[in-house]
Amino acid sequence: MSVTLEEILTQPIAWEEAVNKTAGQSRDLLPLLKDLDGHVLFTGCGSTHYLSLAAAALFQKLTGRPARGVPGSELVLNGDTVLNGRTPLLVAVSRSGATEETLQAVEHFRRRGDGAVIAITTDGSQPLASMADYAIVLERGREKSVVQTRSFAAMYVATVGLSLLAAGVTEGLEALERLPALGQRIISEVQDMAQKVGKDRNITHFFFLGSGILYGLASEASLKMKEMSLSFSEPFHFLEFRHGPMSMVDKGTMLVGLLSERNHKHEQAVLDEMAELGGHVFSLGERDATYAFHSQLPEIVRGALYLPPLQLMAYYRAVARGLDPDRPRHLSAVVKALGSS
């Protein structure tokens, strides 16, 4: 079995670790999360930048405190556009714990002396963990593959736990414990659907649509499609897609919608309109979707359920195109600093 496929299929084990570690370490984390005065930053690179977008949106939604997700490179190179006033907390996310731009971002933040740093990683032996005030290390999220799948989902679940802790939403933490079992069921149910989409050679380009707390996850799904299958793929907010990008829709278009509960009516209307223009549609959501979760989980803890179907879609697309998802073109597991050998 492909390493990448094995990591996608086994990710609920890593989700469980993320839930348990975040809840189990709440006594250490709460002092860093309470009484935050100023905006909170989430940062990462590549996949973990998109994770940061999703995490910041959820954190702000739950706590009412301003939060922002930014690439590590922007914090380093354009800090004056990122850091404005007091920033009491930086959450730095890196699968390897050694991503150069993320380490530099933490150093830059430290020099300002604003606040604390929480690291989320799968390798506690690497520099990021030791640079932080507190590190959540998810060893079961470790991967051999270049493309992030299991690690991304596990680290995202940890940020959901952080947001729930910061907001004091204890019922959300209890609901989060049900996530791994649901993830296993969904993986077993959705593989044939994902494979059917991935193998459809009539599809030439993909658009991943998601809004609010789901936009970052739509962006990550689009990145997976690019990395694994070398397909044209872009993410958009649902209604924003109607302001220009819809001109690209034709019979070779697949629109993948991450439907929310709150805005389902508006989001479904966009998908229906694109279908009328000739596009193919695949949607994910709690109900009334191409694949419905029927999880009975609160929407705020449901995000990870979208990930395995979308990762599998990219994996099977790559295989159908004769590519090896374990060896994506031009990519490596850890990106070094520019100019380094």
The reported pLDDT for the residue numbered 340 is 47
Categorise residue 46: left if φ over 0, alpha if ψ from -120 to 50, beta otherwise: left
User: What is d(CA 240, CA 229) in angstroms, rounded to the nearest whole number?
Assistant: 25
For 50-63, letters b (16+ CB in 10 Å) and e give bbbbbbbbbbbebb
Cα Rg for the chain, rounded, in angstroms?
19
Question: Structure tokens of 259?
Answer: 């439907």
Residue 152 near residue 48, CB atoms below 8 Å: yes
Residue 96 near residue 126, CB atoms below 8 Å: yes
The dotted CATH code for 3-176 is 3.40.50.10490
220 Cβ neighbours under 8 A, 6+ residues apart: 47, 50, 51, 54, 152, 307
In CATH terms, is domain 179-320 a member of 3.30.300.30?
no
User: What is d(CA 311, CA 253) in angstroms, rounded to the nearest whole number?
Assistant: 18
pLDDT means per 10 residues in the chain (341 residues)?
95 98 92 86 97 98 95 92 84 96 94 89 97 97 95 98 94 93 97 94 96 98 96 97 97 98 97 98 98 97 98 96 82 57 38
The reported pLDDT for the residue numbered 312 is 98
The reported pLDDT for the residue numbered 341 is 38
The reported pLDDT for the residue numbered 330 is 63
Residue 207 near residue 253, CB atoms below 8 Å: yes
* 42 phi, psi to nearest 5 deg: -115, 135
Of 103, 131, 96, the closest CA to residue 117 belongs to: 131
- Stretch(es) of the chain classified as CATH 3.40.50.10490: 3-176, 179-320
The reported pLDDT for the residue numbered 254 is 98
The reported pLDDT for the residue numbered 333 is 64
Of 142, 71, 129, the closest CA to residue 101 belongs to: 71
User: What is d(CA 147, CA 2) in angstroms, rounded to the nearest whole number?
Assistant: 12
**Can you say how many angstroms the Cα of residue 165 is from the centroid of all Cα atoms in its chain?**
19
Is residue 313 exposed (0-12), middle (13-18) or buried (19+ Cβ within 10 Å)? buried
| Number of C-beta neighbours around residue 202 at 10 A | 8
User: What is d(CA 190, CA 197) in angstroms, rounded to the nearest whole number?
Assistant: 11
C-alpha pair distances (Å), 181 with each of 129, 264, 312 = 29, 25, 18
Single-letter amino acid, residue 106: V
